[in-house]
Amino acid sequence: MMSPNSQKPAPEIDLRTQLGRLTLANPVMVASGTFGYGWELSQFLDLRRLGALLPKTVTRQPRRGNPPPRIVETPAGILNSIGLDNDGIEAFLNDHLPVLTNLGCPIIASIAGKSVDEFAQLAEILDQAPALAGIELNISCPNVAGGIDFATDPHLCEAVVAKTRASTRHPILAKLTPNVTNIVSLATAAKNGGADAVVIANTLLGMSVDWRRKIPRLGGIMGGLSGPAVKPVALRAVFQVAQAVDIPIVAAGGITTLDDCMEFLVTGARAIQVGTAHFFRPQAAIEILDQLPAALAELGARSLLEVVGTLRVPRESSQPTPCYR
């Protein structure tokens, strides 16, 4: 018999999430480009616990990336101008993927192409890898020449997603850019093209200058801003898409703590990607995952999906218009 002072065991929380045809055991992913190929950080955390791991973006041919310096610290974030430095798709398939698929967590490959056809070719090549959980289309990298064209033009966005969709059986996540005036139109295009989910959002285009030396601090001049500084922008973008487009959302942008994660979930995201936080807290993703069940229970939920999109917005404020005085 349980004594009056005994505490009831915490209810078991169902952390599973659904991103179109992709089912994950939990919503916590690590963002592409912030985690190396993935296996490098296996000594710091149990990768088997992750909802999914996204290795660095791969391209058709190897890329040397942009000239150094490639990373500059900014208030509440970093600017990076890596330039998609990678070993190419063949090395990814032959050298990296065999190691990754033995890590014990779902692997979602990230790809970037120079054209619509090249995205489709990369996806077709990855069909040789049945162990992959999905493919993320990096159509929004801001520090590669032409890198955001596909994610700023709805017609190009729909075309690249549609042709990739026809070239692979893997679930597709389209990674969108915040460097647009209407992200809803891009999410709509991705949905129409057949994306299983959208990732919102990639980095903001930024710049840093050394005024004493009169030079840019990045070798590539401009780069992508990430970290806590961009979270309000990403949160706004997730809200706008969640209100207007019926497509699963993966949130990315400044997610560092459990509170950040929960804010994105109630705003409409079904999963999150932790990125820049790993540079100063390698255990960040696992820490958020450990704290997530208690936070969901605090809201009276027995499953993750019960809290997704539960943000209460006054009817008269459903379409907020900024007013500066």
DSSP state of 40: G
Q: Which residues pair with 74 in a beta bridge?
A: 77
Measured distance CA(252)–CA(72) in Å, rounded: 20
Distance spanning both ends of the chain, measured CA to CA:
64
Measured distance CA(138)–CA(84) in Å, rounded: 10
DSSP state of 96: I
Measured distance CA(116)–CA(10) in Å, rounded: 49
Q: Which two tokens stand for residue 257?
A: 């703590």
**Residues in Cβ contact with 8 at an 8 Å cutoff, skipping those fewer than 6 apart:** 2
Count of other CB atoms within 10 angstroms of residue 152? 19
3-state DSSP call for residue 201?
coil
Measured distance CA(74)–CA(192) in Å, rounded: 37
Residue 261 annotated among the catalytic residues of the structure: no
Look at the block and give the residue holding tokens 């090249």: 118
Measured distance CA(143)–CA(46) in Å, rounded: 31
C-alpha pair distances (Å), 117 with each of 112, 172, 262, 298? 11, 16, 38, 48
Q: Which one of the listed residues 105, 141, 157, 261 is annotated catalytic? A: 141
Q: Which two tokens stand for residue 308?
A: 């997704």
Catalytic residue ranges: 141
